[in-house]
Amino acid sequence: MSKNVIFCSTPLHILNALIVKFFLLKNDYVDLVILNHSNFEKKVIENIIEEKIFNNVIFLNVNDFNHQRLYKTKIKYIKKSIEYFFLRKYGKRFSPNDVIYDTVWTSFMDRSTWLYYLYLKEKNFNLKLNILPDGTGVYKLLSTRQNIIEEKILNFFNKKPFLKEINCLYIYEPSLIDKNYYNINIKSLPKIDDRNFQHLLNKIFKIDSNIIDVFLTNKFFYFEAPFIQKEAKVKQEKLISYFCKNNIKIKIHPRTIIKDNVPKSCIIDNNIFFESLFLKINFKNKVFISGISSATLFSKLIFNQEPYVIFLYKLYDLDKYTFGSDNYLDFLEKFKSLYSDTNKVFIPETLNEFYEIIERLKDED
């Protein structure tokens, strides 16, 4: 029996962890570690503990440490070098317990989890690292170039960089990956069509009936993005005004940047696990709008539902903010090809084209 630990930071990560435990590690030892990056609904965590799915459910406070990481480049690398020099100190700080695990699983490799992983590997040289989906970015992870300075620092301390430590990448649709610079093993996560697992999710992610009614009675939904780029933020703010005027509900992001002057009637609470709604609602006639939100993708990738999807990737000029010449347009075209009806996926290039699509879909059944 292998010993595993899964690190989670968001509700989606918890879904990943549940899938891994239920389908891949059913008879193995698995601890769940929840980092306080997001505001988890306490009842969800209580339900997980009550169901006795994992051997242990552990909470780690890492926000204070990770928030200190906004340094200028030179200072950042000096700070990282100090952390590697005192690895045992930081590893113990972020160690959930004294268990020597065989495999670490995570959807998001924050600094605290990385230091813990390196610390644990000193105790178990055969330790494996498996990566789960965090969002859209996981499909471009293997085409990301390793930071040269970071790699040199790690080599000095006789460590390998993150991308060279990955044992396996588990994702919902391997066909969406077009480049694998590191020859990492890629495996599929199962779709959620097992009735016993669906029943388990319904018991864990109980959603208020009022929220369900919002999704049943409305057709158009926009998934906010917490942009840090000024140009994209301004464009999103202008569109939010349009959404409110046209009865398009806004599902705000857990790290929302929406201003307080947006009417509450336009907003859907961010403290819900949206993906669990797919177990209760058929979204085939609904319209999802986003820059490139994972919520609009996972309807198809995890639950095999095909709502109308409008990606505002080109309108927000998001290719400006991707690494080098890499962008997600090829990825979106591949995603579109997964649909049984590719006419339900749109990537408008202008505002007028976007408005025309909205008007046309208002008349669709």
Instruction: Spell out the domains of the chain, with CATH numbers in brackets.
Output: 3-188 (3.40.50), 208-362 (3.40.50)
Beta carbons within 8 Å of 294's beta carbon, 6+ residues apart = 12, 133, 134, 135, 136
Environment class of 274 (CB within 10 Å of its CB; exposed 0-12, middle 13-18, buried 19+): buried
Q: Are strands 56-60 and 29-35 parallel, antiparallel or unpaired?
A: parallel
246: which DSSP letter?
Answer: T
Q: Is the pLDDT of residue 140 over 50?
A: yes
Place of tokens 């290039």: 349
* Higher pLDDT among residues 59 and 186, named by residue: 186
Q: Mean pLDDT across the chain, nearest whole number? A: 87
Specify the pLDDT at position 324: 46
Q: How confident is the model at residue 39 (pLDDT cuts 50, 70, 90)?
A: low
Q: Is the pLDDT of residue 127 over 90?
A: yes
Specify the pLDDT at position 21: 96
* Higher pLDDT among residues 311 and 11, named by residue: 311
φ/ψ (deg, to 5) at 13: -60, -35
Beta strands in 172-328 (DSSP E): 185-188, 220-223, 249-251, 267-268, 287-290, 308-311
Q: How confident is the model at residue 365 (pLDDT cuts 50, 70, 90)?
A: low
Q: Structure tokens of 195?
A: 């009735």
Residue pair 32/54 in contact (Cβ under 8 Å)? The answer is yes
Q: Is the pLDDT of residue 266 over 60?
A: yes
Please state the separation of Cα 154 from the chain's center in Å: 27
User: 197-227: per-residue pLDDT in tens?
Assistant: 888 888 888 878 888 899 999 999 999 988 8
Other CB atoms within a 10 A radius of the CB of residue 64 amount to 8
Angle between helices 195-204 and 11-19 (to 10 degrees): 150
Beta strands in the chain (DSSP E): 3-8, 29-35, 56-60, 103-106, 128-131, 166-171, 185-188, 220-223, 249-251, 267-268, 287-290, 308-311, 345-346
Q: Are strands 345-346 and 308-311 parallel, antiparallel or unpaired?
A: parallel
φ/ψ (deg, to 5) at 236: -65, -40
pTM > 0.85: yes or no: yes
Classify each residue of 188-208 as buried b or exposed e, where b means 16 or more C-beta atoms within 10 Å of its C-beta: ebeebeeeebbebbeebbebe
- DSSP string of 283-318? -TT-EEEESS-HHHHHHHHTT----EEEE-TTTTTG
Q: How confident is the model at residue 301 (pLDDT cuts 50, 70, 90)?
A: very high
Q: What value does the CA radius of gyration of the chain take, rounded to a whole number of Å?
A: 21
User: 336-362: per-residue pLDDT in tens?
Assistant: 999 999 999 999 999 999 999 999 999
Q: How confident is the model at residue 322 (pLDDT cuts 50, 70, 90)?
A: low
Angle at 208 between CA 196 and CA 308, to 5 degrees: 75
Question: Which DSSP helix (H) or strand (E) runs through 78?
Answer: helix 73-85
Residue pair 166/128 in contact (Cβ under 8 Å)? The answer is no
Angle between helices 195-204 and 42-51 (to 10 degrees): 130
* Higher pLDDT among residues 191 and 219, named by residue: 219
Instruction: Determine the Cα–Cα distance for residues 143 and 326; give it in Å rounded to an integer.
Output: 8
Q: Is the pLDDT of residue 271 over 80?
A: no
Percent of the chain residues past pLDDT 70, beyond the cut: 93
Environment class of 98 (CB within 10 Å of its CB; exposed 0-12, middle 13-18, buried 19+): exposed
Instruction: Determine the Cα–Cα distance for residues 24 and 54; give it in Å rounded to an integer.
Output: 13
Beta carbons within 8 Å of 230's beta carbon, 6+ residues apart = none
Q: How confident is the model at residue 185 (pLDDT cuts 50, 70, 90)?
A: very high
Point out the least confidently predicted range of 125-129, 227-231, 277-281, 360-364: 227-231
Q: Helix (H, G, I), strand (E, B), or coil: what is residue 196? A: helix
